[in-house]
Amino acid sequence: MMVLPSVPDLILRPPRTPATRLLLLARHAPAAPAYLCRAYPGDGGYPAYYHRLWRILSGLGYKVRTADTAHGLAAEAAGTDLVFSLLNRMPMHTPEIFVASSCAALGLPVVGAPANVRALAEDKWFAKLALRSAGLPVAEGAVYNAPADLERPPAFPGPYFVKNRFGAASEGIGPHSIQDDWTGAAAAARALMARGMAVLVEQYAPGLDLTVPVLGGRRPIVLGVVRPGSDQAGGIITEDLKRDDPLGYEMFDPGAAGAGFLADVQALWQAVGPMDYLRLDYRFDPATGRRVFLEFNLCCHIGRSGAICLAARQWGLEQDAVLGHVVEYSLRRQGRAA
C-alpha cells in the first residue's frame, strides 16, 4: 500500500474575503451578465463543467470574469490577477501553448506552469526523452511526420502502439492504435497523418492505464493512484472514452510498486517543477509491477467526476477545496499572493 503524507494538512485555503480577480478562460465558459450554462450540441458536457467551475470559484469569493477566446487577453490584463485557462483547442498547431505564452508576454500570471514546461508536456516525444534522463521508465519510441517516413520501421520490435505525438484528450487513439506488426502500425500511422497529425509509435506495454493526480505545493502533493475505466482491448483509454467518460474512475492500490510512482513524481518535479496541478499517466502491469510512463498533463480535467477530485475525495476534500488550493498555490508560485 502507498503511504502518503496527510493531504488535508498541505492544502491552502482562500482568505475569507479574497481580493483576487480571476479570468476563467474556456471555449464554452458562461457569459456575463447572467453566467448561464450554455447549450452544447456536442459530446462531453463541457459547458456544465465550465459553469460549475465558475460557480465554485465565485462561491469561494474570487471576483471571476469569463471569456471564451484568447483574443481579449491584452484588454483584460489590467483587471486580472490570475488567468485560469482551460482553453486547449484553437485552429493552430499546438494551441495548448498559446495562452501560457501570451500571458508571459503580457506579464499575466496563469494557472498551470510556465510556457516552456507546457510546451514540453504537450510534445509527448520530447517529454519522454527529457524525463527518461530524469530516471522515469519510458517505452521505446519513434516519430513519423510523413507517409514516406513509414518505409523505415522503428529499431524495436512490435507489438506497437500508434498515437498522436501532440494533442489533448487522447485525440487519435482508438482500437486501431494497438498493432502486432509494422504493416498494421504503418497503416494506422497513415490514417492519423491524413487527419493532420504527427505520429509517435511506441513499443506497446501490456497491462492497464493508470494516472497519478498531483497538486502543487512546497513539495508535490500526491493524491493517490487512479484507474480510468476502459472496456477496450488492452484496457486503453480511447478518444471516445476520454471525451464522454462513460466508465468513470476508481482508486487503485499498486502495492509495493507505489514507491516507484512516488519517486517518479519527485523526479519530474525536480526536473520541470513547480506546477499548479497535473497528472502523470502510465501503463502498469499488475503481474510484474512494471510501470511505463506515458505523459504528464498540465491542463487535465479538474471536474468533480475526474481523477483529481476522486483522489482528493478520499482525503475528505471536495472540488471547492481543490480549486481553492490550485488558485492560492498558483498565486504563491508566481509571487502574486496578497
pLDDT tens figures, 150-159: 999 999 999 9
Of 89, 126, 79, 83, give the one whose Cα is nearest residue 102.
83
Instruction: Using the predicted structure, report yes or no on whether residue 246 has a pLDDT greater than 60.
Output: no
- Closest residue by Cα to residue 23 from 113, 116, 117, 111: 111
Query: Using the 8-state DSSP alphabet, how is residue 10 labeled?
Result: G
State how beta strands 141-144 and 178-179 pair.
unpaired
Confidence band for 249, pLDDT divided at 50, 70 and 90: confident
pLDDT over 60 at 88, yes or no: yes
Q: What is the pLDDT of residues 285-309, one digit of tens each?
A: 999 999 999 999 998 899 988 999 9
pLDDT-derived band at 122 (thresholds 50, 70, 90) equals very high
State the pLDDT at residue 114.
Answer: 94
- Range name among 65-79, 117-131, 196-210 with the lowest pLDDT average: 65-79
Across the range 94-101, mean pLDDT stands at 83
Average pLDDT over residues 192-219: 95
Confidence of residue 245 (pLDDT cuts 50, 70, 90): low
What are the cell numbers at 180?
502486432
Q: Could you give the CA distance from residue 40 to residue 30 in angstroms, rounded to a whole number?
A: 12
Decide: 234 and 178 in contact? Cβ < 8 Å.
Answer: yes
Residue 165, pLDDT score = 93
* pTM: predicted TM-score of the whole model, two decimal places: 0.93
pLDDT tier at 230, thresholds 50, 70, 90? low
Structure letter (DSSP) for residue 65:
E
State the burial class of residue 275 (Cβ atoms within 10 Å of its Cβ: 0-12, 13-18, 19+). Answer: buried
pLDDT computed for residue 228 by the predictor? 87
Q: Is residue 82 pLDDT above 90, yes or no?
A: yes
Residue 224 has phi, psi (to 5 degrees) of: 145, -170
CB atoms within 10 A of CB 187: 13
Give residue 317's pLDDT. 97
How confident is the model over 162-173, as pLDDT tens digits? 999 987 766 767
CA distance readout (Å), 151 to 128, 144, 185, 203: 24, 10, 11, 18
**CA–CA separation, 65 and 241 (whole Å):** 31
Question: Who has greater pLDDT, 258 or 89?
Answer: 258
Structure confidence at residue 231 as a pLDDT band (50, 70, 90): low
Q: Where are the beta strands (DSSP E) in 140-289?
A: 141-144, 160-164, 178-179, 199-203, 208-215, 221-222, 226-228, 249-251, 277-285
Whole-number pLDDT of residue 72: 81
Residues 6+ apart with CB under 8 A from 238: 170, 173, 174, 175, 177, 230, 232
Please check the confidence at residue 92 and state whether its pLDDT lies above 90.
no
CA distance 267 to 297: 16
Has residue 89 got a pLDDT over 80? no
Average pLDDT, the chain: 90
Please report the domains of the chain, with CATH numbers, ordered by start residue: 7-118 (3.40.50), 123-138+206-325 (3.30.470.20), 141-203 (3.30.1490)
**Is-contact 279 307, C-beta < 8 A?**
yes
**Beta strands 226-228; 249-251: pairing state:** antiparallel
